Amino acid sequence: MKFRSELDDFGDLAEINVTPLVDVMLVLLIIFMVTAPMLTQGLSVELPTAEGKSFELATANPSKISVLANGAVYLDGAPAGQTDLELTLGTMLRGRRVKRALLEADQSVPYGKVIKVLDVMNHAGVEQLGMITRPLEVPRGRPRR
């Protein structure tokens, strides 16, 4: 006959208590969920939710920057030159304190030229940018998607 002693009671210690493990994992999950959006970097682009003219841009009266096929740049119809845009276009944008702008570029303009204009706009303090495009022609009888 074997008597069980009070010091030899290890039956309950054979199982792992998962409650603290679950608590720690939930805390870590919450920390990662909160910090993950802060780690993303990039451009913040506000896309319109409806087709047609944006009423917000229409009332805010943004400046219009045009890049013609020959490389000439215009700000609200006034010539801003073709070269050294930081001195010409950048000075004009800072002088007018432009915060919202619409960019219109001819499709034959090299991509590098458009990027130079965007860079000058960024250095000049333009905060919101819209790009003007031609609407896509939809043949009659075909439903729009």
Question: pLDDT-derived band of residue 37, with 50, 70 and 90 as boundaries?
Answer: confident
pLDDT digits (tens, 9 = 90+) for 57-111: 444 678 888 888 888 888 888 888 888 888 888 888 888 888 899 888 888 888 8
Q: What CA–CA distances, in Å, run from 103 to 6, 59, 131, 138?
A: 83, 17, 5, 24
Parallel/antiparallel/unpaired status of strands 63-67 and 73-75: antiparallel
How many domains, in total, are found in the chain? 1
Does residue 30 sit within a domain? no
Reported pTM: 0.53
Does residue 7 sit within a domain? no
Q: What CA–CA distances, in Å, run from 118 to 31, 52, 76, 79, 83?
A: 36, 24, 16, 17, 14
Q: Is 57 exposed, middle or buried (0-12, 13-18, 19+ CB in 10 A)?
A: middle
- Single-letter amino acid, residue 74: Y
CATH number of the domain enclosing 127: 3.30.420.270
Does residue 6 sit within a domain? no
Does residue 74 sit within a domain? yes
